[in-house]
Structure 1
Amino acid sequence: MAHDLLAKRLAYILTKLNNGEKFTLKELALEFGTTTKTISRDLNERFIYIPIKKEKNLYSLHEYALGKLNLEDIKNFATISGIKSLYPTLTNQFLTEILENKINKVFLVKNSGFEMIENKKDDFEKLSRAIINHHVVEFLYKDKEKIVEPYKLINSNGVWYLCANDSGKLKTYSFTKIENLKTKEDKFNLNSELLKEIEKDEINWFSNKLKEVQLKIDNSAKDYFLRKKVLSNMKIVEENDQYFIVLTKIAFEDEIINLVKYWIPYIQILSPNDLVEKLNNILNGYIKRTQPVQSQC
């Protein structure tokens, strides 16, 4: 709920900026019923990469970036900006390119994010520019060389993926596992049929090998999971007064691992066993690393 309110506030502020309006911290604070400190954080931290200027306590957007976004772009961008761990720190130059080329052509954010990728900021920007300019990219993935046409950076359940055309087929690559990324001089034309597949918002093109996962979720989180459609292909198979059990299909294990870690203790993996074991190992390792050191008398 807090993320929803934050995203709405950021969308409203971004709309005002995009329309060329000027305002003070106090004016926005009164409008939203919050403090000037909160509004200052919105403008100076959450929007640190936006070309905002300040003149005599009035905030506004630099002229060269005005009017570049439509309503849907603003909603998407505000959502991203409101969830700190969802994106790396973006530069002013990169943001301006995004403003000019429409953010929803580059990114597809399906749910809230948890993956930290700040250490791969340069690659994130490089891929985004390649998508905007339709440049072929080359990289190593699981020790294999890949040359693909990049279509979108997708955040699904907190994990970033590159969706690309590989010899006429849509394939996805976990962004954090991409190494030695290079942008080639070769350019490509977008395949309209592949774009339609992406817009269907289905997981079939994520991978040819989908894994079925059974989850037990506390009813206190039920409204959020149903309203937000956190799991796009979720099917409820059992429910009672305390919890409900769902089946879902995933292409990559990290999606569910990150989701469950975020929602502990309200969610539990029931099957498959190898995924249960993987999560338990992660949690046990965390507990061991964070146990306080006992002082010796």
Structure 2
Amino acid sequence: MNTKHDKIATRLAIILTKLNNGERLSIDSLADEFNVAKRTIQRDLNERFSYLPIKKENSYYFLEEYCLGKLNYGDIKSFASLSGIKNLYPNLDDSFIVDLLNSKINQTYLIKGYEYEDLSSKTKLFELINIAIITNQTINLTYNDKQRALNPYKLINTDGIWYLSADENNQLKTYTVSKISNLTTTSKTFKPNKEFEDIITQNQDTWFSEDATEVTLQIDKKVKEYFIRRELLPHQKIIKQDDNLILTTTVSYEDEILKIVRYWMPHIKILQPTYLQDKLLKDLKTYIDS
């Protein structure tokens, strides 16, 4: 980075530190401190920091309370550098910086894989969910043809599929983002349940629901080592090992286990419940015939 951009990044880092510490800043005082024009500071606050939840009251700028103190020095330096030189690199757009910032502020995202389904058509929905998670706002949406009111906790990506972990009627559940529609935010706020937060953070499962189904699977010898080496399924328990592997898993949503079985076919078979294996075969036949 050249000297000019070094100075920009340094100025932005200092301003961001002040905001992070809860200071109320004026354009005049910042212009004097950094010996730059007022329009430069206005550009910093209104353009370079447009991704930040900055409020203006009278002549003072300050950070929304829910963000205060959530960034460390390394984070501030990184964000300031990105903001200062993003015009040099087209890929460093505001949405990229927003994702970085939001993931640090409240860890709204939990990634458990390396690939991502294409949800470009759901960009606005993602933004609304992300804001609702940060501000602890209740959201209304349609899911499986039912209108629901949810308290959102985290967006989770597992093996490329995005899910929303949320509280519905005091039950922690998981919703496939691609199936969510008609989402709106409300003025109602909620106090996060610490128990739910711990479950989401510590649990290796993606799916939560008040209803759970135990599924018994047969894994053939060609792929069984993958399942022995690590738990690829929620609550995975190995029942029997010989040429093949028999194991059980407990899931909350049948569609999710069916997705996994389809991925590993023809090396995996559902033994119990039998209706799930029947459903799988029926779906495959429909797909082949179409």
- The answer to whether the superposition gives a TM-score over 0.5 is yes
Q: CA deviation at 1:267?
A: 1.3
Note closer, same or farther for the CA distance 1:114–1:285 as it changes in structure 2 (3 Å cut): farther
Equivalent runs, 1:220-235 vs 2, <5 Å = 220-235=222-237
Structure 2 CA distance for aligned equivalents of residues 93 and 286 of structure 1:
41
Structure 2 CA distance for aligned equivalents of residues 271 and 288 of structure 1:
26
Instruction: Note if contact 2:163-2:175 (Cα within 8 Å) is conserved in structure 1.
Output: yes
SS at match of 1:189: coil
Structure 2 CA distance for aligned equivalents of residues 145 and 221 of structure 1:
41
Partner of residue 108, structure 1:
110
Structure 2 CA distance for aligned equivalents of residues 108 and 228 of structure 1:
19
Equivalent runs, 1:158-237 vs 2, <5 Å = 159-201=161-203, 206-237=208-239
Identity between Structure 1 and Structure 2 (%): 36
SS at match of 2:192: coil
Instruction: Note if contact 1:65-1:100 (Cα within 8 Å) is conserved in structure 2.
Output: no
Please say which structure displays the higher CA radius of gyration: 2
Note closer, same or farther for the CA distance 1:228–1:106 as it changes in structure 2 (3 Å cut): farther
Structure 2 CA distance for aligned equivalents of residues 172 and 201 of structure 1:
13
Instruction: Note if contact 1:139-1:179 (Cα within 8 Å) is conserved in structure 2.
Output: yes
> Which runs of 5 or more residues in structure 2 are unaligned?
1-8, 10-77, 85-90
Structure 1 CA distance for aligned equivalents of residues 82 and 117 of structure 2:
32
Segment drifting more, 276-285 vs 185-194: 185-194
Instruction: State whether structure 2 residue 81 is matched by structure 1 residue 63.
Output: yes
Q: Output one character per residue of 1:191-241: Cα deviation in whole Å (capped at 9) or x when no partner.
A: 32321122231659811211111111122222322334211311111111x
Note closer, same or farther for the CA distance 1:277–1:229 as it changes in structure 2 (3 Å cut): same
Note closer, same or farther for the CA distance 1:135–1:286 as it changes in structure 2 (3 Å cut): same
Partner of residue 99, structure 1:
100
Q: Name the amino acid aligned to 2:97.
A: T
Count matched residues.
207
SS at match of 2:266: coil
Q: CA deviation at 1:117?
A: 4.0
Structure 1 CA distance for aligned equivalents of residues 137 and 95 of structure 2:
16
Equivalent runs, 1:257-272 vs 2, <5 Å = 257-272=258-273
Structure 1 CA distance for aligned equivalents of residues 142 and 92 of structure 2:
25
Q: CA deviation at 1:93?
A: 3.1
Partner of residue 71, structure 2:
none
Structure 1 CA distance for aligned equivalents of residues 110 and 274 of structure 2:
31
Q: Name the amino acid aligned to 1:266.
A: H
Instruction: Note if contact 2:140-2:186 (Cα within 8 Å) is conserved in structure 1.
Output: yes
Q: Output one character per residue of 1:149-202: Cα deviation in whole Å (capped at 9) or x when no partner.
A: 210122456543321123443233332332200122444332323211222316
Segment drifting more, 158-167 vs 263-272: 158-167
Instruction: Note if contact 1:216-1:243 (Cα within 8 Å) is conserved in structure 2.
Output: yes
> Which runs of 5 or more residues in structure 1 are unaligned?
1-19, 21-59, 67-89, 290-297
Partner of residue 125, structure 2:
123
Partner of residue 289, structure 2:
288
Query: RMSD of the TM alignment (CA)?
Result: 3.2
Q: Output one character per residue of 1:265-294: Cα deviation in whole Å (capped at 9) or x when no partner.
A: 2211122121111111221122223xxxxx
SS at match of 2:223: helix
Structure 2 CA distance for aligned equivalents of residues 224 and 91 of structure 1:
37
Structure 1 CA distance for aligned equivalents of residues 226 and 211 of structure 2:
28
SS at match of 1:213: strand
Instruction: Note if contact 1:150-1:162 (Cα within 8 Å) is conserved in structure 2.
Output: yes
Note closer, same or farther for the CA distance 1:155–1:64 as it changes in structure 2 (3 Å cut): closer
Structure 2 CA distance for aligned equivalents of residues 128 and 213 of structure 1:
33
Structure 1 CA distance for aligned equivalents of residues 264 and 179 of structure 2:
25
SS at match of 2:263: helix
Q: Name the amino acid aligned to 2:129.
A: L
Partner of residue 145, structure 2:
143
Instruction: State whether structure 2 residue 134 is matched by structure 1 residue 132.
Output: yes
